[in-house]
């Protein structure tokens, strides 16, 4: 039994739905940017009159809003939110669905080790996220080129790729929660509450102007204003994200290899 292919087969509809939904959201805003045309300056003036609290909470950067990259960065925060929910769902369901559906005992009777099972499921979840991002990037970049034409493709691409990194963080967190909690009756409720909790935490940090809060919310690890200005990522937050992913996955292995699997 090829566990990776079996898992990917189960994910295929989910991959298409999530990728197309996020692409549709991004493309709608690209259409809106194209439709504004010369009125973009009036739109910029309108946003400039909004309270700073709202601008910070929704990642509205006035200096770059008249460019596609700046306009795109506004909607991209919601795209990443959707991507994080998808990744959290994948991670949380890795182990818990076997217990919920009472198939863990069947899986354990196969001539494969627990480490092989966990590795296969992680590869499948990782592959699902890669496929989602390839579809999203391909369609979104194509739409941007077709509708707008000239824009900073490098910065646009760098902003878009950050979703994959944030997804990896939430997938790793979901896996850790899954192996520690065991049977989870509702994966979506756990995913939504966790993801929205971190999103609200990050928004509150921006609202209060508290820079330290950024370290506790993956949604704030990649400042799109910084990326637009420097065409680079903030190394400290990239390192924190990588360390967390490695630690969460390693911890998941340790717990999963030693814990008792109850299916009754």
Domain assignment present for residue 36? The answer is yes
Domain assignment present for residue 60? The answer is yes
Domain assignment present for residue 113? The answer is yes
Domain assignment present for residue 264? The answer is no
Domain assignment present for residue 263? The answer is no
Q: Number of C-alpha atoms within 13 angstroms, CB side, residue 117?
A: 20
For residues 11 and 216, give the distance between their C-alpha atoms in angstroms, rounded to a whole number: 29
What does the block give as tokens for 168?
A: 């990896």
The alpha carbon of residue 28 and the mean position of all alpha carbons in its chain are separated, in whole angstroms, by 19
DSSP string, 38-101: GGHHHHHHHHHTS-HHHHHHTT--GGGTTSHHHHHHHHHHHHHHHHHHHHHHHHHHHHHHHHHT
Whole-Å CA distances, 110 to 98, 113, 126, 199, 214:
14, 8, 23, 40, 44
Contact 43, 36 (CB under 8 A): yes
- The domain in which residue 163 lies consists of 3-258
pLDDT (tens, 9 = 90+) of the chain, 264 residues, equals 587 888 888 889 999 999 999 999 999 988 888 877 777 777 777 777 776 666 666 666 766 777 888 888 888 989 999 999 999 999 998 877 665 555 554 455 555 777 888 888 899 999 999 999 999 999 999 999 998 878 888 999 999 999 999 999 999 999 999 888 867 778 888 899 999 999 988 888 776 667 788 888 999 899 888 898 889 999 999 999 999 999 999 999 998 888 755 544
Domain assignment present for residue 127? The answer is yes
Number of structural domains, the chain? 1
Domain assignment present for residue 203? The answer is yes
């Amino acid at each position: 039994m090829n566990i990776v292919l079996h898992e990917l087969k189960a994910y295929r509809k989910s991959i298409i739905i999530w990728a197309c939904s996020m692409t549709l959201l991004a493309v709608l805003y690209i259409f809106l940017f194209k439709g504004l045309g010369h009125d973009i300056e009036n739109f910029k003036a309108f946003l400039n009159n909004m309270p700073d609290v709202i601008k910070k909470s929704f990642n509205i950067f006035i200096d770059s809003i008249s460019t596609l990259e700046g306009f795109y960065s506004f909607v991209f925060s919601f795209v990443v939110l959707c991507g994080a929910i998808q990744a959290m769902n994948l991670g949380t369901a890795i182990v818990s669905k076997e217990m919920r559906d009472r198939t863990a005992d069947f899986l354990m009777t196969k001539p494969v080790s627990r480490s092989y099972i966990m590795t296969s499921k992680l590869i499948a979840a990782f592959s699902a996220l890669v496929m989602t991002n390839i579809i999203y990037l391909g369609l979104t970049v194509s739409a941007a080129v077709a509708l707008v034409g000239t824009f900073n493709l490098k910065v646009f691409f760098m902003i878009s790729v950050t979703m994959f990194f944030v997804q990896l963080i939430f997938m790793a967190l979901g896996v850790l929660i899954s192996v520690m909690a065991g049977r989870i009756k509702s994966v979506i409720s756990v995913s939504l509450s966790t993801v929205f909790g971190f999103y609200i935490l990050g928004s509150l940090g921006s609202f209060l102007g508290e820079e330290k809060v950024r370290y506790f919310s993956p949604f704030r690890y990649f400042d799109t204003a910084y990326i637009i200005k420097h065409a680079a990522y903030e190394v400290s937050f990239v390192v924190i994200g990588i360390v967390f992913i490695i630690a969460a996955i390693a911890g998941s292995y340790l717990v999963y290899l030693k814990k008792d699997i109850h299916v009754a």
